[in-house]
Amino acid sequence: MRINELKRKLQRGETVIGPFMCASHASFVEVVGLAGFDFAILDMEHGPLEVETVEDLCRAAHGVNLTPIVRVRKNDGPQIQRALDIGSGGVQVPQIETRTDAEAAVRGAKYQPWGMRGLSFYTRAGDYTLNGVSGLTDKLNDEQMLIVHVEGKRGLDNLDEIVQVPNVDVIFLGPYDLSQSFGIPGQVDDPRVVKGMEEATEKIRAAGKIAGTFAGDVGRAKRWMDLGVQYISISVDLGIFGDACKGLVAQLRG
């Protein structure tokens, strides 16, 4: 099985960067890896991707030393299991609001003794049994990451308990859903949203956990990096492509 270099970087205290990805063509994933990003979040929550396509995108990612992370649609054991069985480097689980939610995500993502993930070795994650299965569940528990989204006021209110849940690798603060929970959808720079995220970042780091978030542009990303956020999702593949296209058109017609 594959060594998760993304997890190693985070454990060394490095900051890692990568976009969300909705496009279904493997070339987009290859470009992201060749460009030097650390990871790509293959988005099954807001994008149109299905698991068969995502499995092939994972293959493309591994071909260019890019760690594929899969965001599932909800905190659901079978969805989490499938996202990991296809051989991804980890899973992102949305809408974690309580300690109970976080514990449920761990149960879905981890094998015994940490969880109750459904067990089959005839998967891409298990190398289809061709490299042996002895100790494999322990290895997968160690290598495949669990990233949970705290993205609402209720989640912030319960963060002191959420950060105590073991076997969660990253606590990801979702600014857009958080802005919506404050009644100001999309206003991610509003002082209430920023303050909530700053205070949450401090709590996450004080608990010895890794903080993550989304940034729509480089300026926002650097600001969160300066505050100690290690796992930075920067923009979305189609947005990056769209901005590049608009820029070219503006230059040629300007």
Decide if 11 contacts 73 (C-beta within 8 A): no
Question: For residue range 47-85, what is the model confidence (pLDDT) as tens digits?
Answer: 899 999 999 999 999 999 999 999 999 999 999 999 999
Amino acid at the residue 231 = Y
Q: Which domain holds residue 45?
A: 5-253
List the CATH number of the domain containing 248: 3.20.20.60
pLDDT value for 211 = 98
User: How many residues are listed for the chain in this entry?
Assistant: 254
Q: What is the pTM of this model?
A: 0.96
CA nearest 118: which of 78, 70, 74, 71? Answer: 78
Q: How far apart are CA 71 and CA 73, in angstroms?
A: 7
pLDDT value for 2 = 83
pLDDT value for 24 = 96
Q: How far apart are CA 182 and CA 201, in angstroms?
A: 18
* 46 assigned to active site: yes
Question: For residue range 184-221, what is the model confidence (pLDDT) as tens digits?
Answer: 999 999 999 999 999 999 999 999 999 999 999 999 99
Question: For residue range 21-37, what is the model confidence (pLDDT) as tens digits?
Answer: 999 999 999 999 999 99
Question: For residue range 117-175, what is the model confidence (pLDDT) as tens digits?
Answer: 999 999 999 999 999 999 999 999 999 999 999 999 999 999 999 999 999 999 999 99
pLDDT value for 254 = 82
Name, in order, each residue with C-beta under 8 angstroms of 223's C-beta and a sequence gap of 6 or more.
Answer: 215
Structural domains of the chain, count: 1
pLDDT value for 93 = 98
